[in-house]
């Protein structure tokens, strides 16, 4: 995935293990003097990369902060597919938002779902409470888009949350267990066929991870099936995988996937999805496991803003990342359609861009709260592209950094280093490194637990 931010961001501590928080004994006292009533109130909706970066960067600003999220945790989404494929556990890539912000005495956290936004009245309703604000930072993220076929979701879960990752893991592991005792050969093939729809970073990394599980991690654990015969199909509607990457790296990624047994189909559209599998044209790929990685759309909250949006619901923001005509409303992350003034290109919806947007918004809020500038004097946001990385599997990855293009083990090591560095805290880093080291040395997955619904439930 495109996840190569600044190696030493200004707004995060450069000390190891302290990128998102500190020791509880060192936290600032939480008193009413920390946020006097006459200070500006900054309401941040969303505790993802953009929202959290903004909140952290406002730690010394003379403002009050309220961060609202429906989840109590910040999730490191670039590694979520590893939870879905039993390489990591949820706690390895997530941390409580309150813990992340514990040292910021000016910040409050509200666990609630935002129900409505009234930009004219500067009011937000969340969890039945009405919140007023001086500045709104909307960073609510994206949701799955099934392109008008919402009925597909039941048979083809996406990958945006821990719950979805655990459901994919449950279905995958349960599929192998059922195949072990399935007398019907056709049904056994369906149970051991995995279809991933979408050839972007998530789809590529998911296909590679499932391929490694089937061929390396579990073959010796079963007595009546050969998991190496599992069929993994990656479907992409466009002409190549990883369309944001240079063509030579897309081709390399496809070769690496095919080398571990993944069947890649480009220029192919899925016409229907059901519990029986995925329809490609008039042909059915029989499968009990379809995973959706083909499209996203902006959070539905963007529809409540008085502004233009594109086809995927993203807000067409101005150069200062604000809703035109509303300088008090910032829209950040992958729900914003941002055009870089230097290149004329759209800023990609990746984690580095979201963090840069969050820090940019915080700088403008801080300067205006101190009376240093007015909204009319804001500089345009400029995205600093630090590169793209995607991994296919053990020792296999592709990297595009500036004009450099490389693949294989060097790209894989860089991918691992960058992801470990930007994990939330030292515990997460240590846990992930140990898990990866164990998997690399012994070809095993440490989180192969079937949890959630009972195994006696119907297939699919």
Annotated catalytic residues are: 205
| Partners of residue 264 on adjacent β-strands | 234
206 closest CA partner among 274, 141, 144, 257: 257
Q: What are residue 249's phi and psi, to 5 degrees?
A: -75, -35
CA angle, residues 325, 323, 422, in degrees to nearest 5: 150
Alpha-helical segments (H) within 141-180: 162-180
122 closest CA partner among 136, 109, 110: 136
Is the distance from CB of 93 to CB of 432 less than 8 angstroms?
A: yes
**Token output for 415:** 């991918």
**Token output for 162:** 């821990």
117 closest CA partner among 104, 132, 105: 132
Detail the DSSP E strand segments found in 52-163. 63-69, 73-75, 94-96, 107-111, 114-118, 123-126, 129-132, 135-138, 142-144
**Token output for 293:** 């990685």
CA–CA distance, 450 with 137 (Å, rounded to integer): 38
SS3 of residue 202 by DSSP: helix
CB count within 10 Å of CB 312 equals 16
Is the distance from CB of 312 to CB of 297 less than 8 angstroms?
A: yes
- Which H or E element spans position 195? strand 193-197
Count H helices and E strands in the chain, helices first: 10, 25
């Amino acid at each position: 995935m495109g996840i190569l931010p600044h190696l030493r961001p200004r707004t995060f501590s450069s000390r190891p293990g302290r990128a998102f928080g500190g020791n509880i004994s060192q936290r600032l006292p939480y008193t009413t003097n920390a946020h006097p009533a006459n200070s500006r109130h900054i309401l941040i909706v969303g505790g993802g990369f953009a929202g959290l970066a903004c909140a952290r960067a406002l730690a010394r600003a003379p403002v009050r902060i309220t961060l609202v999220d429906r989840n109590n945790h910040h999730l490191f989404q670039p590694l979520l597919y590893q939870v879905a494929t039993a390489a990591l556990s949820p706690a390895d890539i997530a941390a409580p938002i309150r813990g992340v912000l514990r040292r910021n005495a000016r910040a409050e956290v509200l666990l609630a779902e935002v129900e409505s936004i009234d930009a004219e009245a500067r009011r937000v309703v969340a969890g039945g409470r009405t919140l007023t604000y001086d500045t709104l930072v909307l960073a609510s993220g994206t949701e799955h888009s099934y392109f008008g076929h919402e009925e597909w979701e039941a048979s083809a879960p996406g990958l945006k949350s821990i719950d979805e990752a655990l459901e994919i893991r449950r279905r995958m592991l349960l599929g192998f267990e059922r195949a072990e005792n399935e007398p019907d050969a056709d049904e056994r093939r369906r149970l051991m066929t995995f279809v991933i729809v979408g050839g972007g970073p998530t789809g590529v990394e998911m296909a590679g991870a499932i391929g490694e599980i089937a061929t390396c991690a579990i073959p010796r654990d079963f007595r009546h099936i050969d998991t190496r015969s599992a069929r993994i199909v990656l479907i992409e509607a466009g002409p190549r995988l990883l369309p944001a990457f240079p063509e030579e790296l897309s081709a390399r990624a496809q070769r690496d996937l095919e080398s571990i047994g993944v069947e890649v189909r480009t220029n192919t559209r899925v016409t229907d999805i059901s519990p029986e599998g995925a329809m490609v044209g008039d042909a059915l790929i029989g499968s009990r496991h379809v995973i959706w990685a083909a499209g996203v759309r902006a959070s539905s909250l963007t529809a409540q803003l008085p502004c233009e949006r594109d086809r995927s619901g993203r807000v067409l923001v101005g150069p200062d990342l604000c809703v035109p005509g509303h300088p008090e409303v910032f829209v950040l992350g992958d729900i914003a359609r941002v055009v870089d003034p230097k290149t004329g290109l759209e800023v990609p919806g990746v984690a580095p861009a979201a963090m840069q947007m969050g820090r940019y918004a915080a700088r403008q809020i801080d300067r205006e709260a101190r009376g240093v500038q007015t909204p009319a004097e804001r500089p345009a946001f400029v995205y600093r592209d630090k590169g793209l990385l995607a991994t296919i599997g053990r020792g296999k990855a592709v990297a595009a950094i500036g004009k450099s293009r490389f693949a294989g083990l060097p790209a894989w090591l860089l991918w691992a280093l960058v992801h470990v560095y930007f994990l939330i805290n030292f515990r997460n880093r240590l846990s992930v490194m140990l898990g990866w080291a164990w998997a690399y040395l012994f070809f095993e997955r440490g989180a192969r637990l079937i949890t959630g619904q009972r195994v006696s439930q119907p297939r699919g």
